[in-house]
Structure 1
């Protein structure tokens, strides 16, 4: 499917180097100026006010990654990752807003018809409609084992089930929700539905009290025969997991990896500045070899994670089949890097770094959330291992075919 001559996921889109540098400068100035002021306000109140959403929307920061045909600014995915790195140096809730709004359209657009684009996709790209990605369930994983179900009666589905850990699930306008046709199993019976936030039969529990990422709302949701128009279904019955995972998960994992790079960069910036200004026994901390080596390790760690993440972004942008596994490699590598870097950055600050008056304290808390976003490390390892063994088996089969010998993978297990 294509829109305005480019792919529905925007991979054929890009802006000029001049325009990109202008956007990079604008984002950097905002993050280092108003963004820092917002960070203080969010931490003090625990809230992200509507005025911040409005400011981000009016600055054009919520429509950077989408193609021009959808009302976006047409950045390529690699270009968007450059801005994502900068946004991630800001407060985690700021990063979460721009990450989600600049990404949710990727799940919707490839499966939307033109009426759905007008009603849901374009308003979402414009930041006028908040769509919350709603997949995870309290008693299940995030794949074909979902149990939230719908039964169809004429032009209406009736939804029953539970979801939790839903980012923006309280303040959203619609939940982009994944369920299955009643009585089905596996991925074939799954559906993707846009469920009105104010539909009847829904109980919304605000579960926003978290260790970090203060201000971002999260929800637990319970649905009991909640009506959803069939016209709000994206794609066909059976396409639910394709909508959830196909065009969204891979680029989102890469984006989370780059957000780890950006946040690690902020931790390193704070640690370097503190090492230069803090004096012990008449010398700055930076002159201590143990501190200098620790920060040198951080710098190399960040650069390596950035390089892998950009490789994954380039592969996804050009449609490479290696992109899904690379996205998991990038996310796995980047979150582990972020853990090491923020731990060392806090250690450089000594005991004072543990106090809320120090910016590194918030960075340290916010970093832990990245280990869960878009799948745990264990999920990433599963994806990588599956791809590794698939490629190895394919290589063995090709070698066997070239040698005109039986494929060992196809041989019976019993030898006798």
Structure 2
């Protein structure tokens, strides 16, 4: 069976797909993980393999060449994929999300030029919002001035995932001289445009293999035809189209990684014997594993609830997405810490699988906004409702 043949209304076939994904994670996925950790780079054939399996377009509409998996069901698959190496789940997560931000504001020409090729795996698009001298988006410093049929872009971006290896940057800037949301624009910037300096960032603590970039733009020409939506729509493209569902997705990636940490901890607790008894018989260890199980299930249910509300168009979905992410990343911190503790000293060595998971787990605390950003979003919703 291939992904192409799955009828999503058929629960049996979805179950078969889920089994297929899990088999990939526990088989080829582990081989890719070892290679990535050894070489500190994602092999090009991983992108090709994921694309051929259809995993990079699971949620895209069937009429666009995607699998058409509903978002909530996709999260079940993402949970499994997130049990693999962090770079594997990063590729799947970004590719299944960025098309949506493009499509909501794209005209037909842009849909043919950017959206459909991205879904098909023909081009890679890097979400390019973060700046070293700015915060959560509304205070963007990168700016553009318009001259005829072009914008001229100046400014800096950093921590841009796939910023080195992409074909386009989905970049957010503001019209020079403006402030606040209304001056923002969303632009598709060609990776080979003139006036751009691309610098690969140093290796990270975890998520090894995924490239990140610092970008400097010096009056880089960008066709006005590459603007998504109107002037002033920039942050709507970023937040509504990408960040809300992406934060829910990141929450579920936390669940998947925590689930893998819990598996490893239980395996070790059952096999490791002290004073003639398995660790699992020790109440302190058993209670830690029980707490982990409750933590994981609570985070999973909140993420799925937020996904369902977003699918239904709930106006509070943005706050729910932040709640889901905040809860899940804190859960992941607790679960991985206890899982490493169950392993004892041996878990600290690179030869132990829990060591990589412990490092990878820290990344989700920064993806799509820190805990402090999530709290600000939630508080704004709460206090606004009260008023």
Report the TM range for the smaller structure's normalisation.
over 0.9
Aligned match of 1:274 in 268, 273, 284?
A: 268
Q: Relative to 1, partners in 2 of residues 1:224 and 1:154: Cα closer, same or farther, differing over 3 Å?
A: same
Partners of 2:136 and 2:373 within 8 A in 1:
no
Deviation sequence 1:353-381 (CA, Å, 0-9, x none): 00000000000000000000011111111
Aligned partner of residue 62 in structure 1, secondary structure: helix
Aligned match of 1:113 in 107, 128, 135?
A: 107
Aligned match of 2:65 in 61, 71, 76?
A: 71
CA shift, 1:323, in A, is 1.1
Aligned match of 1:353 in 321, 340, 347?
A: 347
Q: 1:263 aligned to 2:290?
A: no
Partners of 2:173 and 2:185 within 8 A in 1:
yes
Aligned partner of residue 370 in structure 1, secondary structure: helix
Aligned match of 2:373 in 379, 382, 388?
A: 379
Aligned ranges 1:120-139 → 2 under 5 Å? 120-139=114-133
CA shift, 1:15, in A, is 4.1
Q: 1:402 matched to which residue of 2?
A: none
TM-score (structure 1 length as normaliser): 0.90
Q: Which runs of 5+ in 1 are unaligned?
A: 1-12, 394-416
Q: 1:222 aligned to 2:255?
A: no
Q: Which has the larger radius of gyration?
A: 1
TM-score (structure 2 length as normaliser): 0.97
The root-mean-square deviation of aligned C-alpha atoms, in Å, is: 1.0
Aligned match of 2:183 in 181, 189, 200?
A: 189
How many positions carry a matched residue from both structures? 381
Q: Relative to 1, partners in 2 of residues 1:100 and 1:335: Cα closer, same or farther, differing over 3 Å?
A: same
CA shift, 1:144, in A, is 1.3
Q: 1:149 aligned to 2:143?
A: yes
Aligned match of 2:231 in 237, 245, 249?
A: 237
Deviation sequence 1:223-268 (CA, Å, 0-9, x none): 0011111111100111111101112111000000000000000000
**Runs of 4+ that moved beyond 6 A:** none
- Alignment partners' CA distance in 1, 2:8 and 2:155: 41
CA shift, 1:22, in A, is 2.1
Aligned partner of residue 57 in structure 2, secondary structure: coil
Aligned match of 2:326 in 321, 329, 332?
A: 332
Q: Which runs of 5+ in 2 are unaligned?
A: 1-6
Deviation sequence 1:255-290 (CA, Å, 0-9, x none): 000000000000000000000000111111001111
Partners of 2:8 and 2:14 within 8 A in 1:
no
Aligned partner of residue 221 in structure 2, secondary structure: strand
- Alignment partners' CA distance in 2, 1:36 and 1:15: 31
CA shift, 1:142, in A, is 2.9
- Alignment partners' CA distance in 2, 1:296 and 1:209: 35
Q: 1:322 aligned to 2:319?
A: no
- Alignment partners' CA distance in 1, 2:383 and 2:32: 47
- Alignment partners' CA distance in 1, 2:120 and 2:57: 6
Partners of 1:208 and 1:216 within 8 A in 2:
no
Farther off after superposition, 15-24 or 134-143: 15-24
Partners of 2:155 and 2:218 within 8 A in 1:
yes
CA shift, 1:21, in A, is 1.4
